[in-house]
Amino acid sequence: MRSLTGAVALLILTVTVQATEMASANYGIAWDVADSGGGLMASPGYVLTDSVGQPSAIGFSSSENYFLKAGFQAPPDYDGDVVRDFMDNCSMNHNSNQRDTDSDGIGNVCDPDINNDCSVDFLDLVFYKANFLQAGDLDTDNNGDGITDFLDLLVVRDHFFASPGPSANGCN
């Protein structure tokens, strides 16, 4: 997208905010949307206005200085683990490492469903009993401390007769 006119560039700007950089001889846009940033578009040859004529819509615009500055709100991260909820394998519990030993799309920290039937029940407790006080990177080690113990059984208790998660993938 290196040879667009100013009018097309404005259309691209208002529709496609995921661009990382767009430029031509008359304008340049650099975006930083990965960390709630914004961007700056500057042009000595074009007058820019926002799409609905309101500063609160996309940020700040000015035709006097020929620039448009926009900020974007990042998708939510409820648990604060720096993995956005739409990608998080356990969106209600902090787990920045996204540990998922059974590769079912649900992080161990909220996945006591060991037999992967989308229900935490007595069938799962059989696995916890077999692995109790066993060391290793086991599916039953929910907190990742290297051993299946009472702390992991708390996760079972919290999800008993319910589904694991929630996660962006899995049993939702």
- Domain range list for the chain: 6-71, 75-172
What pLDDT score was predicted for residue 66? 45
Yes or no: domain 75-172 corresponds to CATH 1.10.1330.10: yes
What digits encode the pLDDT tens for the residues 55-109? 433 444 444 444 445 555 667 888 989 888 888 999 999 999 999 999 999 999 9
Regarding pTM above 0.75, the answer is: no
Mean pLDDT of all residues belonging to the chain: 72
**What 3-state DSSP class applies to 124?**
helix
> Beta strands of the chain (E only): which ranges?
21-23, 28-31, 38-42, 59-62, 67-71
**What 3-state DSSP class applies to 14?**
helix
Number of alpha helices (DSSP H) and beta strands (DSSP E) in the chain: 4, 5
According to DSSP H, which parts of the chain are helical? 6-15, 55-58, 122-131, 150-159
